[in-house]
Amino acid sequence: MAQNQSQPRRLRTGVGRVLTGIAAGAALGAAASALMRVKHRGAPETRNAPVADSRPWEAATDLLRTGVCLVDDHNRVLYANRVARDLGLVDDHEIVSLTLRALLAQARRSGRYRDAEVEVPGRVMGEPSAVSVRITPLPDGVSVAEFQDISELHRLERVRRDFVANISHELKTPVGAMQILAEALKDASEDPDASARFATRIQSESKRMNHLVTDLLELSRLQGAEKLPDPEPVEVDRIVAEAFDQTRIAAEEKGIELKHSGVAGTEVLGSEPQLVTAVKNLVGNAISYSPEQTVVEVSTSVRSPNGHLAGARMVCIAVRDEGIGIPAEELDRIFERFYRVDSARSRATGGTGLGLAIVKHVAVNHGGRVEVSSMPEAGSVFTLMLPARSLLSDDTAPESGAIGTDQQAAR
């Protein structure tokens, strides 16, 4: 049934792409014809003929997401739209790229179109861009060059390769460990203590692999593999309480106090399971990277763009710890999949390297964002910011700490 339902969607997508291509091709052809008429309007045989105004076609091609350029047989630029100029391969008068000049010469000699990929140097120390180029020769020595910036496609391909490499490594490690432990368990069948020790290790590795697969499935759903659930009103207090329930055992093992403070009664619109997962991941991270006998505090507040409570539009769920902190140079990368500041410590705590990536996608899917501030050896604060559904009035909003839901583990 699902397959039958997906076929119309794929068909609509395919038809849309075809129509888009036809429209773009028509615009290119019309623009080329119009511009050629303008170019040759001084010729004797056409001097008295009506001349087409090229401005509408130029405006139309400037709206295309594809770069378009008309070049004569001396590599002079007759016309280049905005995208073509912005890519840096041409300017208003000539072809800048030597590779593009060579490609034009090949197309003219063969009389057939030529495809290639050109690297364009980045501006002001920026990364180079990858541009897909197609040259189509026309009569009278004129050629049409089409440009498409495919840098993002290259980036996504690198991400895909890195993901495959990372997931292969992450799965191979516990599977290999379980294989070795199973062999050791078999050899230690007459030693009950050794057997119990190996069985415990196997259980630990299997849990780690289960967590990894669970996080991968969750991340896949958040990235669009499945339709997101319809948004519903969700109480932030319930989100925090459920996150505490799911992390309390880990906190008790380290004697960490879980504390909730801030404004009560706030609501957001979204998926409660996803929001609980996001806050649970933040609290779990705080517990994992905090020393024993410390405090992990979740504070709820409401903010407006100017930072005042009145007219606030965002609910902020801040998770504060007293842990090891994060170096400043690592802050930009901690939300990447499988990225770990300290790989050895992360694996020792059972982390999959996907928790913060899940938090980021939950925030984005709910129209919000996640921010982090940290100082090494002083702790970190992760703040999940979500659009508020309803807010308490200023005279009824409780002060910080008035929620009264402090949950203390064994200290």
The DSSP line for 175-203 is: HHHHHHHHHHHHHTTT-HHHHHHHHHHHH
Query: Residue 275 class from Cβ within 10 Å (0-12 exposed, 13-18 middle, 19+ buried)?
Result: buried
Average pLDDT over residues 252-262: 93
CATH 1.10.287.130 occupies which residues in the chain? 151-227
Mean of all residue pLDDT scores within the chain:
75
Closest residue by Cα to residue 54 from 70, 23, 31: 31
- Two tokens, residue 343: 């790989």
Instruction: Residue 260: name the closest of 233, 281, 239, 246 by CA.
Output: 239
- The listed range with the strongest mean pLDDT (241-255, 347-361, 388-402) is 241-255
pLDDT at 236 over 90: yes
| From-to residues of CATH 3.30.565.10 in the chain | 229-411
Whether the per-residue pLDDT at 9 is higher than 60: the answer is no
Rounded Cα gap, residues 57 and 64, in angstroms = 11
Task: Say if residues 267 and 234 touch (Cβ distance below 8 Å).
Answer: yes
| Whether residue 380 has pLDDT greater than 50 | yes
pLDDT single digits (tens) 113-136: 999 888 887 665 567 888 999 999
Q: Which two tokens stand for residue 174?
A: 């516990």
The topology under which CATH files domain 151-227 is: Helix Hairpins (1.10.287)
Predicted confidence (pLDDT) at residue 240 exceeds the cutoff of 90 = yes
The rounded distance, in Å, linking the Cα atoms of 303 and 171 is 42
For the 2-149 domain, the top CATH level (class) is alpha beta
- Residues of the chain with pLDDT > 90: what percent? 23
Q: Which fold has domain 229-411?
A: Heat Shock Protein 90 (3.30.565)
Q: How far is CA 355 from CA 192, 206, 302, in A?
A: 37, 18, 25
What is the pairing mode between strands 267-270 and 232-235?
antiparallel
Task: Tokens for 126, please give them.
Answer: 């920026």
Average pLDDT over residues 190-195: 80
Across 83-159, the runs of DSSP E, i.e. the strands, are: 114-120, 129-137, 143-149
Q: For residue range 63-89, what is the model confidence (pLDDT) as tens digits?
A: 778 888 888 888 889 888 888 888 888
Does residue 350 have a pLDDT over 80? no
At 301 the pLDDT is: 92
What is the location of CATH 3.30.450.20 in the chain?
2-149
